[in-house]
Structure 1
């Protein structure tokens, strides 16, 4: 699964990657603050379709369906949606039909080794570019009447290369498939296409602690294996 990732890019990079965004950088903001160790339930960027193009929005990374009747703490684990059941699982099927998104990522983490002493690995695109992860989003109204926007990432079985580290991986989208995914014209077959070529290295065990190094670039820098 994918339980930690990073979003580190300039406004120009994300604008070009989304092909393009419809809104310019907000007034008074020089750039997008980088985040290197993002954990579930925190806010992330997502790209959604709007009239005339696409828009970068913020969402809580842990999907809450619009129909949810219980409290936010009672939502089951929904930060990942398995491709095998994304169109049938009640927690995801409405969003799969109606509200899809792309979660831009500069990389993601997986762990190997025994549970008591796991080794964190960082994965990014081999060409240094951004990765587009297929996602879903929803707007839920909490008991206080406030709107909560949330999202999830779709995950699939790992390809041969990634399977050396983990049996699952994010479902990556190619830029030429962005429209088909966002408009809903593509089905699940688009989620199992050959993923981009990745690179991997071991990083500091600081990332094992949620929230540690969220804005520290050394979090994703390679270190020598112990």
Structure 2
């Protein structure tokens, strides 16, 4: 489900640069462990190149106070709530890893290694009451996740960010891509 992730500028130079770009643009993204509804750093389309902003993580839910934080990559094009945002407002969550909980309620942190490497998660955003809010995409789990959880984030490589944001054909095909193998640590 990917209900929390890390954004650690003090432990990762690339995340520090992304954080600074957000701050320089007047935003104050949450650092450390990021929870649903937090203001989070995101990479979105700019006029000539991508830009870093911050916005609330989660679309308004069906009940007051509820937030929808994830969308299944397999159905985003068909679901009314997500289809237009996927087509017109794709974004990327820069993180230093994400958390999942096992059925036994054990918390695990996932990344490419045990170090806080940069991990990019695909998503989209929309405007609600004129304020932007974002969701991230999940997909079928691979071998590195399946024993812990039945979903995993849709993970991009750094060199795929521009294509995800600007190239509709790439974004549509990427929704069904196999995900990279990850390493987990018990928390």
Question: What TM-score, normalized by structure 1, do the two folds share?
Answer: 0.70
Which residue, out of 128, 150, 172, partners 1:167?
150
Give the whole-Å Cα distance in 2 for the aligned partners of 1:75 and 1:28. 27
The alpha carbon displacement at 1:119 in A equals 0.9
Aligned length: 184
CA contact under 8 A between 1:126 and 1:197: conserved in structure 2?
no
Unaligned runs of 5+ in 2: none
Unaligned regions of 5+ residues in structure 1, if any?
Answer: 65-70, 142-146, 204-226
Assess, with a 3 A threshold, how the Cα gap between structure 1 residues 2 and 137 changes in structure 2: closer, same or farther.
same
2:125 counterpart (131, 137, 140) = 137
1:50 lines up with 2:40 in the alignment? no
What corresponds to 1:4 in structure 2? 4
Output aligned runs, 1:104-115, within 5 Å: 104-114=94-104
State the 4+ residue runs in structure 1 displaced beyond 6 angstroms: none
Q: Distance in 2 between matches of 1:28 and 1:73?
A: 31
The verdict on how the C-alpha distance between 1:156 and 1:52 changes in structure 2, with shifts beyond 3 A counting, is same
Cα distance in 2 for partners of 1:98, 1:179 equals: 14
- When residues 77 and 157 of structure 1 are mapped into structure 2, their CA distance, relative to the original with a 3 A threshold, is farther
2:31 is aligned, of 27, 31, 34, to 34
Deviation at 1:57, TM superposition (A): 0.9
SS in 2 for 1:160: coil
- Maintained 8 Å contact 1:172/1:196: yes
- Tell me how far apart the structure 1 counterparts of residues 40 and 25 of structure 2 sit (CA, whole Å): 20
Matched, 1:85 2:80: no
Q: Deviations over 1:129-156 (max 9, x none)?
A: 2111001011222xxxxx3210000000
Distance in 1 (alpha carbons) for counterparts of 2:174 and 2:186: 30
Does structure 2 conserve the Cα–Cα contact (< 8 Å) formed by 1:105 and 1:132?
A: yes
Bigger Rg, which one: 1
Q: CA deviation at 1:161?
A: 1.8
Question: In the aligned structure 1, how far is the partner of 2:67 from the partner of 2:78?
Answer: 16
Q: 1:94 aligns with which of 77, 84, 107?
A: 84
Name the structure 1 match of 2:111.
Answer: 124
